[in-house]
């Protein structure tokens, strides 16, 4: 047999968790044709000596809905071995929505997910109204990786209710119209339906995003449509129960009842938190109880702390404070000059201890607690806190921050963890039987966080440095587990006859690299970018898309439609 692509001399870790073995992988027509000793020729050969050959990774929690229109590759995820993503999480999708109303949908996205409206305006050619039309638009786009899409509740509500979506409860007629759109979307291949009920999701005007106005009964009825159809997954950005046990129990009870009554798989992200260290455990118990009772529920876990990545090039904890606000408005070079002015430095240091009463939401920078603000001088932990560095240098913490930034030409990054600060909790969660390791939020929070590297962090930190997870287990976590939960058929394993989504990497060097700030979004909007070292090649549907982080020009990615559209 003559192969299209032959990956020779590698060590196969096939995604099932079984031990690694030496084999060649031969690919024909976008599928794995042979795994074994291959003597036949091929059009293209990759010598994977010393490298692992694994199924491409899958990130099921992204917000690439807008980005897919201007960035076919799916950066930054594609640089971390990702070959398929699921978008439309947390109630945020770009459909259904008519072009004339697009500003309403963007209002839902702008602050809650930190996607610049000018980038969306310049980068998206709006060619749909309904969700099925949006899927067709994505289907037609050139794509480097594969995309599956949920329909989001905020878009749906805004489509059906207009401005009332931001203020009112749904009428019976609204609800009937919304249910019909869910039905149409799932039949056309939406992977599911998502919503948000968290305070963190606000519009730029400080209003709740549209989905937060929904009653629980509205949510229940919309999810119920998927139950009737026997297809679709429900993802929720959860309610802020606080630590009130009654509210927690009420919310947990409703989630469990929803999963049992509809039969729809329910999923949500969960973090540990230093202010409520055991809060997450009740959600894992809930998943276990729900599954034991006959429902489907799984929890999305992150491989490390959820960090804001701060810098003078993006945002700093002091930006809203008087004195600071004036300096931070200036072009970066002028800020640099200002930070060298002794008088102004003194004023900035004084002002840094003030507080504003502006509400901070989502992934916006928090006021600085110097013990919980870290100097990101390398791509992976451990990091020293600003408090520690300041004490060593006998400086005020703000002075230390300013000097560090000046020494790096304003490019010094600082990490401000918001959750998952306890590494042993993070490990417990990623190993939990009801977990799936995902939740990069890739495509969103573009200048606030950089979690597209959570997969390479798992491989460098937990597998190589801590030896807390085997490489076989880690590949299973990143490929087969998400493929199975989201029903991405024929993906997530290296098997003859399965789709040839493959990542070839060096297990001794794979790691996230340092992030950088770039202004490469449409309209010059800024974002954080992060690549990985140690990945030799990324193959999607049988074609090499990336070699050593460089795009080959191939765009073999596909729209992955849900089960009802495949029959």
Contact residues for Zn ion (CB under 5 A)? 89-90
Cα separation, 167 vs 187, whole angstroms: 30
Q: Which of 237, 339 has the CB closer to Zn ion?
A: 237
Q: Which of 63, 296 has the CB closer to Zn ion?
A: 63
Nearest 5°: CA angle at 336, between 332 and 337?
120
321 within 8 A of 352, measured Cβ to Cβ: yes
Measured from the CB of residue 284, what is the shortest distance to Zn ion in angstroms? 19
Tokens of 555: 């765009």
Beta bridge partners of 413: 376
Q: Which of 62, 541 has the CB closer to Zn ion?
A: 62
Measured from the CB of residue 236, what is the shortest distance to Zn ion in angstroms? 10
464 within 8 A of 88, measured Cβ to Cβ: no
* Residues in Cβ contact with 425 at an 8 Å cutoff, skipping those fewer than 6 apart: 272, 277, 280
Measured from the CB of residue 39, what is the shortest distance to Zn ion in angstroms? 47
Q: Which of 89, 448 has the CB closer to Zn ion?
A: 89
Q: Which of 90, 450 has the CB closer to Zn ion?
A: 90
Measured from the CB of residue 90, what is the shortest distance to Zn ion in angstroms? 4
Q: Which of 440, 456 has the CB closer to Zn ion?
A: 440
Measured from the CB of residue 61, what is the shortest distance to Zn ion in angstroms? 6
Tokens of 120: 């969306």
Q: Which of 157, 131, 148 is nearest to 68 (CA)?
A: 148
* Residues in Cβ contact with 312 at an 8 Å cutoff, skipping those fewer than 6 apart: 328, 332, 335, 405, 410, 411, 412
User: Tell me, what DSSP letter sits at residue 496?
Assistant: T
Q: Which of 90, 363 has the CB closer to Zn ion?
A: 90
Cα separation, 79 vs 88, whole angstroms: 21
The answer, yes or no, to whether the previous bond of 382 is cis (omega within 30 of 0) is yes
Q: Which of 158, 196 has the CB closer to Zn ion?
A: 196
Beta bridge partners of 183: none
* Residues in Cβ contact with 230 at an 8 Å cutoff, skipping those fewer than 6 apart: 263
Q: Which of 23, 90 has the CB closer to Zn ion?
A: 90
Q: Which residue's CB comes closest to Zn ion?
A: 90
User: Tell me, what DSSP letter sits at residue 559?
Assistant: B
Q: Which of 179, 302 has the CB closer to Zn ion?
A: 302
Measured from the CB of residue 65, what is the shortest distance to Zn ion in angstroms? 11
Cα separation, 179 vs 176, whole angstroms: 5
Measured from the CB of residue 144, what is the shortest distance to Zn ion in angstroms? 22
Measured from the CB of residue 112, what is the shortest distance to Zn ion in angstroms? 9
Measured from the CB of residue 507, what is the shortest distance to Zn ion in angstroms? 30
Q: Which of 89, 211 has the CB closer to Zn ion?
A: 89
User: Tell me, what DSSP letter sits at residue 444?
Assistant: S
Cα separation, 448 vs 308, whole angstroms: 6
Measured from the CB of residue 235, what is the shortest distance to Zn ion in angstroms? 8
Cα separation, 303 vs 454, whole angstroms: 6
3-state secondary structure of 543: strand
Measured from the CB of residue 431, what is the shortest distance to Zn ion in angstroms? 23
Q: Which of 50, 204 has the CB closer to Zn ion?
A: 204
486 within 8 A of 58, measured Cβ to Cβ: yes
Measured from the CB of residue 18, what is the shortest distance to Zn ion in angstroms? 33
Buried b (16+ CB within 10 A) or exposed e, 271-296: bbbeeeeebbeebbebbeebeeeebb
For the four alpha carbons of 143, 149, 155 and 160, in that order, the dihedral sign comes to positive
* Residues in Cβ contact with 48 at an 8 Å cutoff, skipping those fewer than 6 apart: 7, 8, 9, 10, 11, 504, 536
Measured from the CB of residue 95, what is the shortest distance to Zn ion in angstroms? 17
Q: Which of 90, 426 has the CB closer to Zn ion?
A: 90
Cα separation, 3 vs 543, whole angstroms: 12
For the four alpha carbons of 91, 92, 98 and 100, in that order, the dihedral sign comes to positive
Q: Which of 536, 476, 549 is nearest to 508 (CA)?
A: 536
Cα separation, 439 vs 30, whole angstroms: 28
């Amino acid at each position: 047999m003559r192969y299209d692509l032959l990956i020779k001399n590698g060590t196969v870790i096939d995604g099932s968790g079984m031990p690694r073995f030496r084999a060649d992988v031969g690919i024909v027509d976008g599928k794995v044709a042979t795994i074994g000793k291959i003597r036949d020729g091929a059009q293209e050969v990759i010598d994977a000596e010393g490298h692992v050959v694994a199924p491409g990774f899958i990130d099921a929690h992204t917000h690439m809905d807008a980005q897919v229109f201007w960035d076919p590759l799916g950066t930054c995820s594609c640089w971390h071995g990702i070959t398929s993503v699921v978008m439309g999480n947390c109630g945020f999708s770009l459909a259904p929505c008519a072009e004339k109303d697009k500003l309403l949908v963007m209002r839902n996205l702008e602050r809650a997910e930190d996607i610049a409206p000018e980038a969306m305006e310049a980068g998206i050619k709006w060619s749909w109204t309904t969700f099925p039309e949006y899927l067709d638009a994505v289907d037609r786009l050139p794509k480097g990786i594969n995309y599956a899409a949920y329909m989001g509740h905020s878009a749906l509500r805004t489509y059906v209710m207009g401005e009332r979506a931001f203020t009112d409860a749904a009428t019976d007629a609204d609800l009937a119209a919304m249910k019909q759109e869910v039905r149409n979307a799932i039949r056309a291949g939406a992977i599911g339906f998502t919503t948000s009920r968290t305070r963190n999701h606000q519009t730029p005007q400080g209003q709740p995003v549209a989905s937060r106005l929904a009653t629980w009964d509205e949510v229940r009825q919309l999810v119920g449509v998927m139950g009737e159809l026997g297809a679709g997954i429900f993802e929720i950005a959860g309610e802020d129960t606080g630590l009130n046990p009654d509210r927690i129990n009420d919310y947990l009870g409703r989630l469990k009842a929803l999963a049992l009554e509809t039969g729809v798989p329910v999923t949500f992200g969960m973090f540990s938190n230093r202010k409520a260290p055991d809060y997450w455990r009740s959600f894992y118990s809930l998943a276990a109880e729900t599954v034991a009772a006959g429902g489907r529920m799984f929890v999305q876990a992150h491989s490390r702390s959820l960090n804001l990545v701060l810098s003078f090039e993006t945002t700093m904890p002091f930006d809203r404070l008087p004195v600071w606000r004036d300096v931070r408005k200036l072009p970066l070079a002028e800020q640099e000059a200002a930070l060298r002015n002794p008088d102004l430095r003194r004023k900035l240091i004084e002002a840094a201890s003030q507080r504003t009463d502006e509400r901070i939401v989502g992934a916006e920078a928090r006021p600085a607690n110097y013990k919980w603000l870290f100097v990101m001088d390398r791509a992976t932990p451990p990091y020293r806190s600003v408090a520690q560095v300041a004490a060593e240098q006998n400086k005020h913490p703000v002075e230390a921050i300013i000097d560090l930034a000046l020494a790096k030409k304003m490019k010094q990054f600082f990490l401000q963890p918001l959750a998952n600060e306890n590494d042993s909790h993070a490990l417990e969660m990623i190993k939990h039987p009801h977990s799936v390791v995902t939740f990069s939020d890739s495509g969103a929070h573009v200048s606030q966080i950089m979690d597209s590297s959570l997969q390479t962090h798992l491989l460098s930190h937990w597998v190589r440095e801590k030896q807390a997870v085997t490489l076989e287990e880690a590949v299973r976590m990143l490929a087969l587990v998400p493929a199975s939960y989201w029903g991405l058929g024929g993906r997530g394993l290296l098997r003859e006859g399965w789709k040839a989504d493959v990542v070839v990497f060096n297990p001794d060097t794979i790691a996230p690299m340092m992030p950088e700030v770039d202004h490469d979004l449409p309209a010059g909007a800024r974002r954080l970018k992060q690549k990985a070292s140690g990945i030799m090649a990324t193959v999607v549907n049988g074609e090499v898309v990336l070699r050593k982080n460089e795009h080959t020009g191939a765009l073999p990615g596909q729209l992955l439609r849900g089960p009802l559209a495949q029959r």
